[in-house]
Structure 1
Amino acid sequence: MFQLPHSPLTLIKDAVLASYNIKLYIKRDDLIHPTVTGNKWRKLKFNLIEAKEKGFDQLLTFGGAYSNHIYATAAAGKEFGFKTVGIIRGDELTPDSNDTLRYAHDCGMELIFVTRLDYNFRNRLTRQYGEKFYVLPEGGTNDLAIKGVNEMVDEIYEVIDPDFICSAVGTGGTLAGIVSGVRGTTKAIGFASLKGKGLLKGQIEKLLPFEKEFELNEQYHFDGYAKTTPELIEFIKGFEERNNGIQLEQVYTGKMMFGIYDLIKQGYFPENSNIVAVHTGGLQGRSEELK
């Protein structure tokens, strides 16, 4: 019931990459499901299985106005027969505030809008609303989510033995899953999409089942979560034009790919490196400037 096909690994053909003798592949997790895409499906899979096994038919979770996790949880609830409730940060918001919230509402998710102050007390909100629900944390990250991301890493090794696996980073769960799943000399690199204030790496380390090295790059957040610049938008447009319309978005995947290309130009990656960039989906959040 909860098994989806493996996502393809696509080799990017780009003159920039060729000039530095670099091979860049994209793990197309944006293609595994039309709505429950990318890392959000990976994080949800084993949680949905556990919810069913424990007899829950309702899911409760948390997120912001543009949360891919809210979007995916609502879609998964509709797909697999769960009632869903999303507690949303921002009491000024409504279901019509943006496409993400509108889609979640259209999928049948009950949206509860709370102040930013109240949102900071999620444990209290869980006790208040979540007695009858299977509770998913903000961003969907827990031990079962990391297990799901491990499956994606295994799929990569079925095709290629990469030198680097790169991912965008929000709450850090996807990167933690990648780090715990990499083998041999493969190095995991995360590209933060928000200002971590020096705390994000420690948060990711706490998610790991054992101590393991990884790199967290916090230089390409473009001034914070969901923030962008004309430079980033132009990069994404150029990438899509050169690569047969493989789409990115400006919140996560665009920042990661910008960072990878910038590091390639700086000589960070050795010649003949095989790099895999994980496409974590979220394309419903594409800026109007990219549509």
Structure 2
Amino acid sequence: MSAFDHMENETDISLVEDPYIKKILCSTATLNIDILLLGETGTGKDTLAQRIHRLSGRRGSFVALNCAAIPESLAESQLFGVNSGAYTGALQSRAGSVEAAHMGTLYLDEIDSMPLSLQAKLLRVLESRGVERLGSTRFIPVDMRVIASAQHSLFQMVDQGAFRRDLYFRLNVINVQLPALRDQRERIIPLFLKMIEEEAVRFNCTAPPPSGALLQQLLCHPWRGNVRELRSTAKRFVLGLPPFSDTMQCATDSQPHLKARMQQIEKTLIEESLRRHQYCVDKVAVELGVAKRTLYYRMKQLEIHQE
């Protein structure tokens, strides 16, 4: 079994199912090249960055730094390190995230929130592949791979003067755009069914099969939190709580596609039942409460193949 095949057995399977992302991973993960991940919150940028590191074969650590969570006054010392006495309160020398990523991967999460003043210093580090701690003039070489992620379009931020052009082109050697869940609605139900299985095991309980009404709600929901929000919904469902934290209605523009969505629900339910019963049509017909002849007819109409 290859490293990539092993990844597909992990908890969050949502990323590797995308053929484009899988191709990018297979062709670039082992190369010593920086990568830029773009996508909304909850699309799996953190998960993908860790998977790239595991596939890379690098011996060092995966060092993650959330650029949005660090106060601007502390960001430079956190990133580059500091020597004792460099400023009031710097009582001892310590390495920053760049040094800690030696022989490994430095993951700069939400780099679109990094201050412009720090971007210029980061660019020098990326160009020289080394760092000088605050309060020191000694250059420390660092062998690292850099993965950066952003929620907003860095290209647009460059035009607006909110992100350095030179840093953007330095990072944008390879970029991966992670699609929003609402743009992949055919994956929502299979992912949800997989997630409730996993959460039932985690909470050591038995989850009832989701109703058709719930599956329709899943297809209509805007999923602003993407896969992360879907995972939370699955947890609430397994725990017997209302799956959605607020009352929601299907968007008006989704109604013309109701028939197609209901067919997708029906297809998913039949396929999941077939897998559970090792493709025994007799058992599936009993579980779904339909005649065997009707089941064969619907399988043919929905292009479901019996293995």
Greater helix share, structure number: 2
Q: Which has the higher contact order (CA 8 A, sep 6+)?
A: 1
Higher strand share: 1
Q: TM-score band (shorter)? A: 0.3 to 0.5
TM-score (norm 1): 0.34
Name the larger-Rg structure.
Answer: 2
